[in-house]
Structure 1
């Protein structure tokens, strides 16, 4: 099991804070540092100093780190045109020496689109149609051999004789992550385009059901490349009950609720819960860290949890 740190900067984090957490994550031996792609805070938090752009942030981190994998859970297809997005991700992959992983989703949070003047298709089918075309375009651009061109004619996007440059450092492409709880199109798109399928914030039983839906589509597609299965869970670990309660209070959550819907408790309790995800086929856990000022939390996980699940 590989453990990756997953942050939500729209809740309130500067680039310097993210850099500190990313460097700490690398130094402590975590496998990856990932961030959400949102432009508006959620819930009763200040959100100060305001949002940071996911791919601008990752470009900076690409030059400030040397080993850790970097990526998004998930970039919103509604935020960017697919051609320029393919260029950005390829460039950041080059800047990192081939350490980028590309999570892409359909987009869902209408309020952040309204707040920053981003068009938001109200119809979920249209969003998924655009999402599917973006997956085809971005992976198609990366897969086009140098010296050849890429053309695509879709309902929402058209590319004509694109030079399909630049290329990412990784060959044939950065790993593509698709996630979510959708029961039909999400598994189909994952089976067709994804290297990894991620299910966020679900209990073990719901996670297994989602994995099984994707496994069925993978088998139906007859793909030879195996799928990686992963889960994202909020994390709240303490050396004792008092420390767990303190960390839960700091993120506005209740311990009992977190033990059901996340990874909460003493290191041994969290190791046991991670083991249950491993039993259903999860190979990676994205630890959603909500208090980015608490580096001792990361140190505790690295010291007392990671060695037991490696």
Structure 2
């Protein structure tokens, strides 16, 4: 099972902090560094130092790292026009030497749109479907050919479909809990399906829906990677778990019920149960980005025990 580090910088983090976490992610042997795409803190605190942009951050990290994959869970479709997004991601992929992955979602947090003057359309899912068609269509267009698209929400005419990513195929991640439209979209466009903050039972049910949708779409279900995103709060003993939980303002029992919390052996056991229902990759949501000892513990005592 791959373990990836997943950060929520809108809760309060500078680029330098994110760089420190990304370098630790690489040095400690994790598979990837991912970040959310939000412009407003969730919760009552002031949110200092303020937001960082997801793709500007990843552009910087692309030049400062050498091995780890880099990506978003999830880029908000409401923030960027699809043609512009295709250019941004292709450029960052070139800057990284072909290590970028694009998680793309519809966008949902209305308050951040109001705070920064970003339109918040009602028909977000329909827009997302067109965005996926455009971004993947632009990348798939052969050099020297043009790409056109006539949709309800977006129209492109004779686009040169440049630049191209360094990778022959940038992996596309689609995720969510939706019972019908989300699996259908994943079956059509995704290389990976991710379900965030879900129980083992709910994950198994949703993976089954996506696998069925893939088969119905004429794909082999195993062509997709199936993954989870789960909060992590690991400690060498109960006191350390409690201390880390207190720093992020969460209850230990709640974290154990809904995430990956407890001793390394407890977390390994729970990860094994996710693996049994088909999860191949887990994004560890790390909320205290100053606690690099947390990453060292997970690397040494959790990651090494996973097959």
1:202 matched residue in structure 2: 198
Report if the CA contact (8 A) 1:11-1:46 is conserved: no
1:289 matched residue in structure 2: 286
Q: How does 1:271-290 map to 2 (within 5 A)?
A: 271-290=268-287
CA distance in 2, matches of 1:56, 1:8: 15
1:161 matched residue in structure 2: 158
1:144 matched residue in structure 2: 141
Q: How does 1:76-225 map to 2 (within 5 A)?
A: 76-121=76-121, 123=122, 126-171=123-168, 173-224=169-220
2:64 matched residue in structure 1: 64
Report if the CA contact (8 A) 1:9-1:51 is conserved: yes
1:242 matched residue in structure 2: 239
Report if the CA contact (8 A) 1:22-1:61 is conserved: yes
CA distance in 1, matches of 2:273, 2:257: 13
Residue 45 of structure 1: CA displacement?
Answer: 3.0
Partner deviation per Cα, 1:11-45 (whole Å, 9 max, x = no partner): 00000000000000100000000000000000133
3-state DSSP of counterpart to 1:159: strand
Residue 143 of structure 1: CA displacement?
Answer: 0.1
1:227 matched residue in structure 2: 224
Provide the TM-score with structure 2 as the length reference: 0.99
3-state DSSP of counterpart to 1:247: helix
Partner deviation per Cα, 1:43-91 (whole Å, 9 max, x = no partner): 1333110000000000000000000000000000000000010000000
3-state DSSP of counterpart to 1:42: coil
| Number of residues of Structure 1 aligned to a counterpart in Structure 2 | 306
Partner deviation per Cα, 1:146-193 (whole Å, 9 max, x = no partner): 00000000000000000000000000x210000011111110000000
3-state DSSP of counterpart to 1:205: helix
CA distance in 1, matches of 2:143, 2:271: 43
CA distance in 1, matches of 2:182, 2:115: 27
Provide the TM-score with structure 1 as the length reference: 0.98
The answer as to 2:6 corresponding to 1:6 is yes
Cα root mean square deviation, aligned: 0.7
CA distance in 2, matches of 1:186, 1:136: 15
After alignment, is 263-272 or 181-190 more displaced?
A: 181-190
CA distance in 2, matches of 1:245, 1:84: 44
Q: How does 1:35-54 map to 2 (within 5 A)?
A: 35-54=35-54
Contiguous gaps of at least 5 residues in structure 2: none
Residue 223 of structure 1: CA displacement?
Answer: 1.1
CA distance in 1, matches of 2:45, 2:98: 35
CA distance in 1, matches of 2:44, 2:208: 35
Displaced runs of 4 or more, over 2 A: none
CA distance in 1, matches of 2:87, 2:241: 43
Q: 2:264 aligns with which of 264, 267, 273?
A: 267
